[in-house]
Amino acid sequence: MKRRSFIQKTALTSGAISMAGGLSYAATPAEEAMAKHQFNLKYAPHLGMFKHHAGDDPIDQINFMAEQGFTAFEDNGMMKRDVALQTKMGETLAKNNMTMGVFVVDKGGNMANTLAAGKKEYVDIFLDGCKKAVEVAKRVNAKWMTVVPGGFERSLPIGIQNANVIEALRRGAEIFEPHGLVMVLEPLSDSPNLHLQTSEQTYLICKGVNSPSCKILYDIYHMQKTEGHLIHNMELTWDEIAYIQIGDNPGRKEPTTGEINYKNVFKWIHEKGFNGVLGMEHGNSRDGKQGEQAVIDAYKEVDAFM
C-alpha cells in the first residue's frame, strides 16, 4: 500500500472513531428525551412502584419514572408528608415536566365522620381538611384531590343521605373554586358500608353540587367490580369525569394480569380526547426488579393502541 493512501485511510478511520465517540459521549438532553418511551396517555405511577430500580428516596423514584417516559405522578399520602419533602417533590415534578395527580384530602370524609350523616362536626372536619389541602396543592402544583364521603348513615333514607353529601361538598367546592382546584369523588368497592359505590350515584351528586371543583374519579378497578360495562358507564358519566385510576381485576395489579381489556379501554379514552391523568393505583404482580420491569412493559403493551 502506498504511504499516501495509508495515511488517508488511517485519518478517515480515526475520524470516524472520534466522531462516534463524540456523539456517544455528548448526547444532548433533547436526544436523551427522544430515547424515552412516548406514551399516548398520562399514566401516573406512585411511590414504591419502582423502588428496586430507583431506591427508597422519593426524589430518585420520581426521576426514574420520568426516565421511563411516564409524564405524571400521584401520591395518596402527600398531605401526611413533611413540608420540605412536599416542596422538593413539587420541584422535581416541575423539572421533569410531569403532571401531579391526586392526593387524598386528609379527613375528607371517612367511616368515622361520614358526610351522609349531615352532622356539623363531621362537615367541619371535612372543611378543615379541604383548607389544608389547598396549601399542599400549591407546594406540589396539584389540581385534583380525592374525596370519599364515607359510610352510610343507615338511620336516614338514601335520598336524605345524598342531599347531606351534596350540601357538604358544596361547601368544600367553595374552598377549592377560587384556587382552580378540583375534588374528585371516588366510588369504591371496598366495603358494602360505603355510601358512594356506583358511577351513576357519583354523577347525580356531582350534578347536585354543580361546581367545576367537584367531579368524578372513575377508578376502573373498583367500577369493574361494582358495575362492569366500563365504556358504557364512562360514556354516560363522561362530562363529570375529571380523573381516572387503573388496576386490573381480579388482583388489583398492572394491566394484562386480569380480565379487563385495557388496550381497548385506553383506546376509547384517547379517542374521547382525554388529556388528564390516569393514576396507576395498583400493586405489582411480581416482586423485585423483574416485577417492576413487567409493570413498565405492560403499560407499553396496552398503550400501543394507535
SS (H, E, C) the chain: CCHHHHHHHHHHHHHHHHHHHHHHHCCCHHHHHHHCCCCCCEEECCCCCCHHHHCCCHHHHHHHHHHCCCCEECCCCHHHCCHHHHHHHHHHHHHCCCEECCEECCCCCCCCCCHHHCCHHHHHHHHHHHHHHHHHHHHHCECEEEECCCECCCCCCHHHHHHHHHHHHHHHHHHHHHHCCEEEECCCCCCCCECCCCHHHHHHHHHHHCCCCEEEEEEHHHHHHHCCCHHHHHHHHHHHEEEEECCCCCCCCCCCCCCCCHHHHHHHHHHCCCCCEEECCCCCCCCHHHHHHHHHHHHHHHCCCC
State the pairing for strand pair 214-219/182-185: parallel
CB 192 within 8 A of CB 182: no
186 is catalytic: yes
Set of cell numbers at residue 115 = 358526610
Q: Out of 74, 153, 254, 281, which one is annotated catalytic?
A: 281
| Amino acid (one-letter) located at 29 | P
Q: Out of 186, 240, 254, 292, which one is annotated catalytic?
A: 186
259 is catalytic: no
Set of cell numbers at residue 294 = 413487567
Catalytic sites, residue numbers: 186, 281
